[in-house]
Amino acid sequence: ELKVEQNPLFLSMQEGKNYTIYCNYSTTSDRLYWYRQDPGKSLESLFVLLSNGAVKQEGRLMASLDTKARLSTLHITAAVHDLSATYFCAGPSNKLIFGTGTLLAVQP
């Protein structure tokens, strides 16, 4: 069955810096999903990547998908405190399989 692994699990970064979260998955899939969760809140859909080479951007976040490498990345540009949250990637089997999440803390 599909396995999804994220790294790092925890990321502390300074405002203004760039960083990337990685999501590897174990079986062939042509789509990948990214979610954001704020503390004590539910999950909010960020990006839906539907094909190899797909790239989507929203503000300081950019997500990409390489189906051949079974890898998706979430790149953060010039981080701000408001981006502090837990980010999950998820891949489809007959249901979504979630990674364990990356807790991002942006320090002033």
Partner 1 sequence: NAGVTQTPKFRVLKTGQSMTLLCAQDMNHEYMYWYRQDPGMGLRLIHYSVGEGTTAKGEVPDGYNVSRLKKQNFLLGLESAAPSQTSVYFCASRADSTYEQYFGPGTRLTVT
Using CB under 8 A, list all residues that contact partner 1: 31, 33, 41-45, 48, 88, 90, 92, 95-96, 98-101
SS3 content of the chain, % helix, strand, coil (to 5): 5, 55, 40
Toward partner 1, which CB reaches closer, 38 or 82?
38
Quickly tell me which residue has 């909010």 as its tokens: 44
Quickly tell me which residue has 């599909």 as its tokens: 2
Output the smallest distance, CB 99 to partner 1, in A. Answer: 7
Toward partner 1, which CB reaches closer, 15 or 30?
30
Toward partner 1, which CB reaches closer, 19 or 98?
98
Phi, psi at residue 83, to the nearest 5°? -85, -5
